[in-house]
Structure 1
């Protein structure tokens, strides 16, 4: 007696073993992919994905070590300043937020929001906060 008459993914009639659920490996893979895609994402996955995206964006725009970029450019790409890994406070009391080795500081210049982007340096180690 067959447990499933049709493929759980595409609906094609099944042949072969009686406990078979899918007609081929591609249908099985597609079914599992859709199942995971529809499942609510776990919180740490959302955080990890946002941190990865933030790092990628900061890396792309900070080729020179210290760069100033308009905030709207980064935000349009999906950058979220609320996700960071640690921070560093300089002698002027400016607090740079870091996503791994790439840091940013929000500034307002001439009524425009901007980010000062920097790269982590060894001398920052003693003053950093997690």
Structure 2
């Protein structure tokens, strides 16, 4: 059996995967690093979307705007933190404490969750 990190031939138990704790730690660090990097990118998109909504809304709790305004601010439509369908069947996309609903006429309703 060879170590999964450094490929050193090991002696001992047949189910042993690593020759040392440092090799084990390095292996798991590298595996998690890829996932962490992907999560960082997605998280930055979500935070940017929230920042755009926060700036547009100002002190308003509810606001109608044009989709193009969000497009020009580089809003990423394909990233949200959740979905909600109201009683009327309208789909709302959640971005942390904000929600938005797109209409066919190119308008978007923005809503801030009350604190």
Calculate the TM-score normalised by the size of structure 1: 0.56
- Tell me whether 1:72 sits opposite 2:65 in the alignment: no
**Inter-CA distance 114–74: structure 2 relative to 1 (3 Å threshold):** same
1:79-118 aligned at under 5 Å gives the runs 79-109=75-105, 113-118=106-111
Consecutive aligned runs of 4 or more in structure 1 exceeding 2 Å deviation: none
Q: Confirm or deny: 8 A CA contact 2:80 2:95 kept in the other structure.
A: yes
- State the match for 2:46 in structure 1: 51
Provide the alpha-carbon RMSD of the alignment: 1.8
Q: 5+ residue gaps in structure 1?
A: 1-40, 123-130
CA distance in structure 2 between the partners assigned to 1:52 and 1:61 by the alignment: 14
Calculate the TM-score normalised by the size of structure 2: 0.62
- State the match for 1:120 in structure 2: 113
CA distance in structure 1 between the partners assigned to 2:114 and 2:87 by the alignment: 15
* Cα deviation digits, residues 43-76 of structure 1 (max 9, x gap): 2121011001000011111231111111111111
Q: 5+ residue gaps in structure 2?
A: 1-35
- State the match for 1:7 in structure 2: none
Count of residue pairs the alignment pairs up: 79
Q: Confirm or deny: 8 A CA contact 2:45 2:79 kept in the other structure.
A: yes
